[in-house]
Amino acid sequence: MKSSVITFPGSNCDRDMDVALKKFGFNNKMVWHDDNELPKSDLVVLPGGFSYGDYLRCGSMASKSRIMQSVINFAKSGGLVMGICNGFQILVETGLVPGVLLRNKYLEFICKNVFVKLDNKENAYFKNLNKDVLEFHIAHNEGNYFCTEDQLKEIKDNNQIAIYYCNKEGRIEDRYNPNGSIKNIAGIFNKEKNVLGMMPHPERMIDQSLSGEDGSIFFKNLINNIK
Amino acid sequence: MKVSAIITLKKDVLDPQGKVIHQALDGMGFENISEVRQGKYFEIDVNENDPGKAKAVVEDMCKKLLANLVIENFKIIETQ
């Protein structure tokens, strides 16, 4: 299975993602933001970081970079595109997934493990996953998901909510919401469910010595779903 | 000619930075404030002499990059 990770100026989780994808069997290529064309890929990942120093709005400049037209075309033809953290911010700026990511409610950079509950397994990312609650890591300043009332209705009607912040048992309550996200939303799909944007970092949970294994469960399942 | 664009958050979008600034101003003794909202200001020098055309270019910029229309409004002002 072939994957591509895009490196933007200021990306800093691109190599972590490369390590994670290779560990679980992907033949991964790193792709520079200024390239014109994506290599042949089964999965494209927009990694975390601080592309363009978060200037203007997080992800806004990266969303206009040269490679993104090829990524958008790939997504529109049904290809799997996953944006993690800053990658999620880039995805909302392209319009591939709805909404925006605002500054965290309490103006703090948050760096900690969180639990997320899967809402929908009818997609290539979570199909056949034997857990409903996963422990992932978050590290962000702008992860406060927001959308208009109309967009929220549409997102719900189309089952586009991918994951919610919750507690260990999977209870979705306000007190388990780290950043003020509307409805505890931590990740969103596009309508067709081939594009996934989420704030948590599964690539940081692929080694017991690095805090956990739920990322391993996610990536093993993902490559099996793509095969 | 120079054209300015002011980007402001829409009314129902939470502005935590504005809130903190409000609290700070309140603490400094500026008590007669009901709300503070923070925005962005751009001054763009367009190589165009026709004000209508220059404004149209900046409007296009606002729609495509400078503002995110999900959460922000923009206003264009001819400055020179």
Question: In angstroms, what separates the C-alpha of B70 from chain A's closest C-alpha?
Answer: 7
Those residues whose C-beta lies under 8 Å from the C-beta of residue A156, and which sit 6 or more positions away, are none
Segment A164-170 shows an average pLDDT of: 97
Which is more confident, A227 or A168?
A: A168
Question: In angstroms, what separates the C-alpha of A30 from chain B's closest C-alpha?
Answer: 27
Report pLDDT digits (tens) over A9-50: 999 999 999 999 999 999 999 999 999 999 999 999 999 999
Domain boundaries, chain A: 2-221
Q: What percent of chain B has pLDDT over 90?
A: 86
Q: CA geometry: angle at A94 spanning A35 and A205, to 5°?
A: 80
Q: What is the pLDDT of residue A53?
A: 94
Q: How far apart are CA B6 and CA B44, in angstroms?
A: 11
Of A99, A107, A147, the CB nearest to B20: A107
pLDDT band at A210 (very low <50, low <70, confident <90, very high): confident
pLDDT band at B80 (very low <50, low <70, confident <90, very high): low
Coil, strand or helix: which one is A100? Answer: strand
- A154 catalytic? Reply is no
| CB neighbour class for A92 (10 Å; exposed up to 12, middle 13-18, buried from 19) | buried
Q: How far apart are CA A44 and CA A29, in angstroms?
A: 10
Residues 23-62 of B with CB under 8 A from A: none
- A203 catalytic? Reply is yes
For residue B68, the chain A residue with the least C-alpha distance is A93
Choose which CATH entry (3.10.105.10, 3.40.50.2300, 3.90.228.20, 3.30.1280.10) describes domain B2-78: 3.30.1280.10
Of A64, A106, A146, the CB nearest to B71: A146
CATH number of the structural domain A2-221: 3.40.50.880
Catalytic residue chosen out of the listed positions A93, A135, A142, A203: A203
Q: How far apart are CA A8 and CA A47, in angstroms?
A: 9
Q: Give me the sign of the Cα torsion angle A82, A87, A93, A97.
A: positive
Domain boundaries, chain B: 2-78
Residue B16: its chain A contacts at CB < 8 A?
Answer: 103-107
Report pLDDT digits (tens) over A53-65: 999 999 999 999 9
Mean pLDDT over all residues of chain A? 96
Catalytic residue chosen out of the listed positions A13, A85, A147, A166: A85
Contact predicate A181/A116, CB 8 Å: no
pLDDT band at B12 (very low <50, low <70, confident <90, very high): confident
Residue linked to tokens 């199909």: A127
